[in-house]
Structure 1
Amino acid sequence: MTTELVSVRYLVDDVEAAIDFYTAKLGFTVRMSAAPAFADVTRGNLRLLLSGPASSAGRPMPDGTKPGPGGWNRIHLIVDDIDAEVARLREAGVKFRSDVVAGPGGRQIVFDDPSGNPVEVFQPAAR
């Protein structure tokens, strides 16, 4: 079992649109692409598996339930300057679910990838 990468799978509607979003807007690198079914992108130690409707992860369950994107579970990307990152992402056309919110651990904001999967950018509180 490898521990150098942490893997997360996101179901997406369009693998190529997801590749463009994660590489152009969030700095991920493509490790492998089998678009339109699947792609494997990385950022640091995060391996994000982008599974489209034609992938094995997108196949219906035995009861007929079809897996799909969305929800509130999300990847969490740490940034040094959330205000600058929000400005950069807004300039790139990203639409946010809310404004930046602050808590005891830091500041965060959530936005969606092209398929509706949430992504959080987070700036830790100064310690």
Structure 2
Amino acid sequence: MKIYVMSVLVDDQSKALEFYTKTLGFVAKHDMPIGGEDRWLTVVSPEDPGGTELLLEPSGHPAAKPFKDALVKDGIPAASFKVDDVDAEFKRLRDLGVRFTTEPMDAGTVRMAVFDDTCGNLVQIIEMIEK
């Protein structure tokens, strides 16, 4: 069994696509209408285009907003992405105007930072640390 798709609830799919591709560097994989203004909109890592897809899922369900608000209030990321160098990625993203809620720090076997994805979520980046 393999993970095929994971989702992150986003307030605005077009804004999310812009952020996740232009700022974070993911590549759009699927963009198909599914009714109304909603789309089946996925992105993948350019390093693994056949790998797990991230669904930028519309957050129209009534439970989505309170759920997302609670996660953000408690500082809990909705997604976590692995990078080779957290400090370099932090600088790159900060220089692009990304707002971080947690600057790079060591946390056990990872070095991590957390940022606002501009679509109602916190996202964590991690670098594995050899111990």
TM tier relative to shorter chain: 0.7 to 0.9
With normalisation by structure 2, the TM-score equals 0.76
Residue 98 of structure 1 aligns to a residue whose secondary structure is strand
Indicate the residue corresponding to 2:20 in structure 1: 22
**Aligned ranges 1:81-120 → 2 under 5 Å:** 81-120=85-124
Aligned to 1:121, which of 108, 121, 125?
125
* Higher strand proportion: 2
**Aligned ranges 1:4-83 → 2 under 5 Å:** 5-34=3-32, 36-38=37-39, 39-43=41-45, 44=48, 45-53=51-59, 58-60=60-62, 66-68=63-65, 69-70=68-69, 71=71, 72-83=76-87
State the alpha-carbon separation in 2 of the partners of residues 76 and 6 from structure 1. 16
With normalisation by structure 1, the TM-score equals 0.78
Deviations 1:80-99 (CA, angstroms, capped at 9, x unpaired): 11111101000111000122
Q: Contact 2:8 / 2:79 at 8 angstroms: preserved in 1?
A: no
Structure 1: runs of 5 or more not aligned: 61-65
* Higher helix proportion: 2
State the alpha-carbon separation in 2 of the partners of residues 41 and 19 from structure 1. 8
Change (3 A) 1:126 1:33: same
Change (3 A) 1:9 1:78: same
Cα RMSD of the aligned pairs, angstroms, is: 2.0
- Greater displacement, 31-40 / 21-30: 31-40
Q: Contact 2:8 / 2:78 at 8 angstroms: preserved in 1?
A: no
Structure 2: runs of 5 or more not aligned: none
